[in-house]
């Protein structure tokens, strides 16, 4: 029997039967595309920790330094491409239009893969937002001029992401909560399930079957209908290749 064959068959059945599925995705998916994590070993940049740079206070003190760090991150992310997990999620959305994807990642790879029913819980690295007029726009320049200015009002722009100490945008939180509460299948993919508030979302769907795919166990493992110790892209790649989910 091929590795994870039985688990894939169980996953295929659960995904195929769902009519209001939701997926919660974490950094594990991005890591499989080569997007570096800024936590853990090697997470320092010019002797700065991310927690020292990704804050409103750091931006107020030294916007140029913060933008130099984000330009470095943009350069690294620009080299990454969607992996089989991103592509499977986009294909699943085409099969089940009510499917909602909630991602904690800011790299924009889900959009590149074709996902449209998408909540970017922590924002998007490729969006810049004016601190004066509030206008948001996509800017995929690598690097962006440091620091960038708003083309409308000339105000200072910041990255369109949620920083440490900031609240999740109301619309992203409300849409996520409503979808999870109404879901009939919850996929939790490539996340440690410990970072709040997103880690609390599964508690809003106690009756929905929960499927977890992650290399390590998490606090959700004991309650999962199906829990697979695997990289998400590696697990989903055969399902994408055989067309089972995409063709229904």
- Could you list the active site residues? 122
Q: Give CA–CA dist 119/236, Å, rounded.
A: 21
How many Cβ atoms from other residues are within 10 Å of residue 244's Cβ?
A: 17
Q: 74 near 144, Cβ under 8 Å?
A: yes
> Which token pair is 58?
């750091």
3-state secondary structure of 22: strand
The enclosing H or E element of 236 equals: helix 232-241
> Which token pair is 147?
């620091």
Q: Give CA–CA dist 113/36, Å, rounded.
A: 19
Backbone angles phi, psi at 94, to 5 degrees: -65, -30
> Which token pair is 136?
């948001």
Q: Is the peptide bond before 143 cis (omega within 30 degrees of 0)?
A: yes
């Amino acid at each position: 029997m091929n590795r994870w064959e039985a688990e894939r068959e169980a996953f295929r059945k659960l995904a195929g039967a769902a009519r209001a599925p939701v997926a919660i995705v974490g950094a594990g998916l991005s890591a499989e595309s080569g997007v570096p994590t800024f936590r853990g070993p090697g997470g320092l940049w010019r002797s700065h920790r991310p927690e020292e740079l990704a804050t409103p206070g750091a931006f107020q003190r030294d916007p140029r330094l913060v933008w130099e760090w984000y330009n470095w991150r943009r350069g690294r992310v620009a080299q990454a491409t969607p992996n089989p997990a991103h592509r499977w999620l986009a294909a699943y959305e085409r099969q089940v239009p009510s499917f909602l994807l909630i991602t904690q990642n800011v790299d924009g790879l889900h959009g590149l893969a074709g996902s449209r029913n998408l909540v970017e819980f922590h924002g998007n690295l490729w969006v810049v937002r004016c601190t004066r007029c509030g206008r948001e726009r996509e800017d995929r320049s690598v690097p962006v001029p440091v620091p960038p200015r708003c083309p409308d009002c000339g105000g200072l722009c910041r990255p369109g992401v949620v920083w440490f100490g900031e609240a999740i945008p109301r619309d992203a939180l409300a849409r996520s909560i409503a979808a999870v509460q109404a879901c009939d299948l919850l996929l939790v993919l490539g996340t440690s399930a410990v970072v709040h508030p997103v880690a609390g979302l599964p508690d809003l769907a106690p009756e929905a079957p929960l499927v977890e795919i992650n290399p390590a166990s998490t606090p959700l493992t004991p309650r999962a209908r199906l829990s697979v110790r695997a990289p998400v892209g590696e697990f989903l790649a055969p399902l994408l290749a055989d067309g089972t989910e995409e063709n229904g």
